[in-house]
A and B are shown apart, each in its own frame.
Chain A
Amino acid sequence: MPQSDPLDTQKRPSVRITYYAYTALMTIDFRPAHGEVLFCPQEDCLLLSATDIGKIMTEIQEGLRARSPLIDTASDEANFRIRINSRSCGDGHAQDMYTVTFETEFLVKWARESGTGVATRSLALTVTRHDMDRLLAFLQDVSVASITPIVHGQAPTSCGVSISLRDVLASQLAVSIDINYCCDTFSLAIFFNTPWGAIEVSPRTGAHWDLHSLYSDDMTHAIQQGLSERLPLIKTGTVDPFFYVTIDAGKDGQGYEDNIFLFTLELDVVGALDPGTTAENIISLMVRQDRQGIQSFLEFLHAIECCRALRIKPHNLGITACGEEE
């Protein structure tokens, strides 16, 4: 994904676009030649859905493919428009140049009157085909980030990634640990399923964890390292929320008979309902897993991290006009 570029705002006009997939908010800085930022991202945000961004991206792609001399695309949901003028037969200039005009409306406060009004701001940049491709790649990235990712090999759910760890040696027992991570709400739902009922630790039952301290990357690393070093016991997790995984890999670290690993998940049910309380009332369920099951859990942790990274980290694009001005 293209990351933020150093903008040469002192000499050439530029535009910086930032998109927060989690909130679907976009901010745009218009930076004309003298470096004055005309659009304040903290105060003026545009709400654009993945569908809207996808539509803009498609219209640009099709316009470029059809060599349209003018591509004019706008958001259906926010005051945001992009016009691309190739000014020739669709191939751009001889040096493959385009004029891209970004346009938006924003609220302005009138200095002498206490009211507000809407003003239109636009900035035209002459850019190369490479910058056009970067713009398309940026739109592609943010539209993907806005849509819930479904990870290969895991059951798709309405809003995230999920895993079901069923005891591999007694599948008829209906004993399993089911976990679902919702990318839309950053919430975790865990089900301890037994033949005599289930315990559901999820927002639906009142659990509301702060999952920002659930470092799935660290857990992945700890489990992978433990497996590679053939540790008899691998323990990893977080204290608040109390989410603790223990993998008993047998004396030689390669599992018990039939390559079986004992996978235990411990949860603090009181802490889940009342964050900040000490981890004392713990419910744990142990299921027997083969190596594939452990691998699936690692993939699940990785999917959580990808999901969070896509949603939390802002996507940035900086485009600076090239030296050849109109």
Chain B
Amino acid sequence: MRTGPSLRLQDTKEYYRSGLYIELYHDSQALFFRIVTPLGVITNDRQGETGLVLAAAEIAQLITTLEEGLCGQLPIIVARDSKFRFAFKINAGADGDGYVGGIFCLHFELNLLAICTGNPEEIAPTLSITMFVHRKELDEVLAFLLFVLQSSE
């Protein structure tokens, strides 16, 4: 039974048809992910999985990076945990306010080696999901991380 905060990210245009989404939730001080596609599911939400344990400082750093990038309208924002296990990468267009129609390109990356072995090598097998979202969804990512931070403290 999940009790912690959760987040569901879907592509703004395609999800009705594709059934593709990313689900994140925080439980027992650990982050769990589900990458759901019609062609298969990749998830650490299975029996025996311990999830990605995140320290409060680490979550705070993620929030700071995202906030600074979005508020400062940086064209590219990369927020990753200190152990290189996962990252949010955002392409925000040249002006940092999104592409046409206020669309942002969001990449969610999983460093498979770092997650499995704890070895924080940056160049490692990586699974990446790309979807197009509005600013609203990015604010939801921030809200989720804030909620995670509060529940971790």
Contact = CB atoms under 8 A, between A and B. Distances in A.
Interface residues of A, number: 34
A205 B123 CA distance: 31
Given A269-B20, A274-B17, A286 B128 contact: yes
Contact of B18 (A194, A198, A281): A281
A50 B142 CA distance: 62
Contacts of B124: 170, 288
B38 to A, nearest CB: 6
B14 A280 contact: yes
B128 A170 contact: no
A170 B125 contact: yes
Given A274-B17, A277-B14, A283-B127, A199 B40 contact: yes
Contacts of A115: none
Interface residues of B, number: 32
Contacts of A206: 38-39
Contact of B43 (A175, A196, A285): A196
20 contacts: A167-B113, A192-B42, A192-B127, A197-B40, A198-B42, A199-B40, A199-B42, A201-B39, A205-B40, A269-B18, A269-B20, A270-B14, A270-B18, A272-B39, A273-B17, A281-B18, A281-B131, A284-B127, A285-B127, A287-B125
Contacts of A262: 123
A195 B50 CA distance: 14
Given A170-B113, A269-B18, A270-B14, A205 B39 contact: yes
Which among A196, A199, A286, A287 has the highest number of chain B CB atoms within 10 Å? A196
B56 interface: no
A207 interface: yes
A260 B122 CA distance: 14
A280 B11 contact: yes
A173 B119 CA distance: 13
Nearest to A170: B113
A196 B40 CA distance: 11
B112 interface: yes
Contact of B131 (A175, A192, A280): A280
B6 to A, nearest CB: 18
B44 interface: yes
Contact of A281 (B20, B44, B110, B125): B20
A302 B95 CA distance: 43
A205 B38 contact: yes
Contacts of B129: 281-283
Interface string A277-321: 100111111111000000000000000000000000000000000
A200 interface: yes
A206 B37 CA distance: 12
A170 B44 CA distance: 19
Contacts of A269: 18, 20, 37-39
A186 interface: no
B37 to A, nearest CB: 5
A281 B14 contact: yes
Nearest to B42: A197
A288 B125 CA distance: 7
A198 B40 contact: yes
A308 B152 CA distance: 57
Interface string B85-118: 0000000000000000000000000101100110
A243 interface: no
A256 interface: yes
Given A273-B38, A277-B14, 7 more contacts: A196-B43, A260-B123, A262-B123, A270-B20, A273-B18, A273-B39, A281-B14
B126 interface: yes
B78 interface: no
Contacts of A173: 112-113, 116-117, 125
